[in-house]
Amino acid sequence: MNVNYLRISVTDRCNLRCVYCNPLGGCDFIGHEEILTFEEIHRLVGLFAECGIRKVRLTGGEPLVRKGIAQLVRQLAAVSGVEEVSLTTNGVLLAQMAAELKAAGARRVNISVDSMDRAGYERITGFDRLPSVVEGIHKAIEVGLAPVRINSVIVKGFNDGPEQIAALAAMSIHLPVAVRFIEYCPTGTQTRPASSYIPNSEVRRMIEREFGLLSPVLAGDIDGPAVYFKAPNSAGTIGFISGRSSLFCQTCNRLRLTSDGKIRPCLYSACSFDVKAMLRRGAGNEELLAFLKAIIHEKSRYTRLNSPGGQFEQFSMQSIGG
Ligand code: SAM
């Protein structure tokens, strides 16, 4: 297992309240002093790079609400060994920040959009912000944060209608973007029940009914979990990330660093390692490096199937970082 990818949640705060992630009324935020500082993140990324990490993705919560995020991108892009810094964002603030992020060294962005219908978007996210997000998508393409990927989670009763799914997939017809459908993963009692999940096989059927058969393509990120296709005569691609209906633990190349400084070797396993405690008690680089190397060495022990609480643990997507 070549662990070369680190996802960092830079905040658990978000400017949206998606029903499947951090719904309105159900959130405890972490105190500011518990969140890793930029200096701590920068130091850790330097050490992770010594352990083979080459790609870093900033996520959250919403990474663009963290003050000075472009400055963090700049610091991380300059770390020796780091080949790529990218972000996953809901795109609400992207139109005004895309150029600054690109100039700071961000390579590309994933933008989460679950509905292209304004009312449907508001029902899922709690806010009427679709126009800003669409502006953000166009700005990201314009400044070259490419390839732009759109992430859509389909949730029963919210955006699972054929017309809603077709409208999302249609972005890949007209724009040079990859629209990726991510299977809903139940994360706790505050979000949607497990029965809200729609398998990607069904999503694909709806897309093919509207646009014709999809043909397989290799689209860049071959070491990620997405499988890519193309609709006839399209500018972009369509991807499926089927975390529930398939298992990709064997090829998982990633670690996660939570906003409160825990390393998670597997999204689905409750296991985490408190690296912030070590940083704040003054651990030296040698001790930290040994700690990171041990986690990487043992990563394959932590998978969806052998997580202690069964297949799916309760967890908070916005503090772990999705
Ligand atoms: N705020 C940013 C955003 O919206 O992209 C970054 C954080 S968000 C937690 C990262 C990704 O996780 C998003 O693409 C989101 O759709 C996905 N996500 C959140 N909760 C999920 C869930 N329960 N199942 C599947 N994907 C989920």
Any ligand 1 atom below 6 A from CB of 151? yes
Any ligand 1 atom below 6 A from CB of 89? yes
Atom 19, ligand 1: which residue's CA is nearest?
21
Any ligand 1 atom below 6 A from CB of 259? no
Atom 12, ligand 1: which residue's CA is nearest?
322
Long-range contacts of 28-32 (CB under 8 A, 24+ apart): 30/259, 30/260, 30/319
Cα gap 135→96, rounded to integer Å: 9
Residues pairing with 109 in the sheet: 87
Kind and range of the H or E element at 275?
A: helix 275-280
CB 66 within 8 A of CB 101: no
Any ligand 1 atom below 6 A from CB of 187? yes
Any ligand 1 atom below 6 A from CB of 198? no
Q: What is the mean pLDDT of residues 23-31?
A: 75
Q: What percent of the chain has pLDDT over 70?
A: 92
What was the pLDDT predicted at 219?
60
pTM here is 0.94
Q: How far out from the chain centre does Cα 318 lie? A: 10
Tens-place pLDDT, residues 228-255? 999 999 999 999 999 888 888 888 999 9
Ligand 1: residue of 64, 88, 130, 192 to mutate (most ligand atoms within 8 A of CB) is 88
Could you tell me where the DSSP H helices lie in 126-187? 130-143, 162-174
What was the pLDDT predicted at 307?
62
Tens-place pLDDT, residues 40-85? 999 999 999 999 999 999 999 999 999 999 999 999 999 999 999 9
Give the best-scoring range by mean pLDDT among 173-182, 190-199, 307-316: 173-182
Per the listing, tokens 């978007």 go with 121
